[in-house]
Amino acid sequence: MSTDSAAPPAAPAVDCEGLGRAYGDRVVLRDLDLTVPTGATLAVFGPNGAGKTTLLRILATLLRPHAGRATVLGRELPRDGWAVRGRLGLLAHDPLLYRDLTARENLRYHARLHGVAPARVETLLEAVGMRLRADEPVRMLSRGMTQRVAICRAVLHEPELLLLDEPLANLDPGAAALVEPLIGRSSGATRVVISHDVEQGLGDADLVLGLRDERAVLSAPAREVTTADVRRLYA
């Protein structure tokens, strides 16, 4: 007698239904349904004020939704946010680094928080070309160098889910190539990526979410979306 040994499908890394958020009387995200399978990359597009960063902050457990539900890595937010934070990596506009500490000191501090061996810090500094500048205070580094250190911080603990807000901002092509193995598709992590680079964002994505006027006006597999579709979000 044969038995069915097929494993059940993996739960999605992100699953939201009717998600909403307001700041006082100002609604910034409304009625959002979103599913991101484990291992997939979602590209998020939209003009300023459309709700992109708010969505990322909700998924990162930094904001509570005011409506709907959100499940991240199998845990319900905000109730189980404590169980998710150590499994995700956030790269925001703020690099989340102490400016008066050196790059190495910042990363060693975060390594201790996550129980990561110091050797991982040195490996990452070498990978992004920052080993020779690692003992300078972050406030003395260029914006591009600071971004490289922030990327190291975000991936230090090898998170399952990467939440990336304009990850290549301030990086020249050479630096972008250095960080790609850490935050790109080859990282193996599920990724939610906010981008204003339409061509690159589409080319790197499995799924596309387009936000405008606090709502999702575009949600489809990347292969079904054209650059013209995305550019209409900004018109």
Which uninterrupted H or E stretch holds 181? helix 173-183
Taking only the tens place, the pLDDT of each residue in 52-101 is 999 999 999 999 999 999 999 999 999 999 999 999 999 999 999 999 99
The CATH class of 14-234 is: alpha beta
Give residue 131's Cα distance to chain centre.
25
Which residues are within 8 A (CB) of 158 and not within 5 positions of it... i.e. 6 or more apart?
none
pLDDT of residue 1 exceeding 50: no
> 173-228 pLDDT, tens per residue?
999 999 999 999 999 999 999 998 999 999 999 999 999 999 999 999 999 999 99
Write down the residue that tokens 């457990």 correspond to: 61
CA geometry: angle at 57 spanning 55 and 63, to 5°?
105
Give CA angle at 171 (95, 58), nearest 5°: 40
- Nearest C-alpha neighbor of 171 from the set 198, 194, 151: 151
Tell me the pairing of strands 67-72 and 75-77. Answer: antiparallel
Domain locations along the chain: 14-234
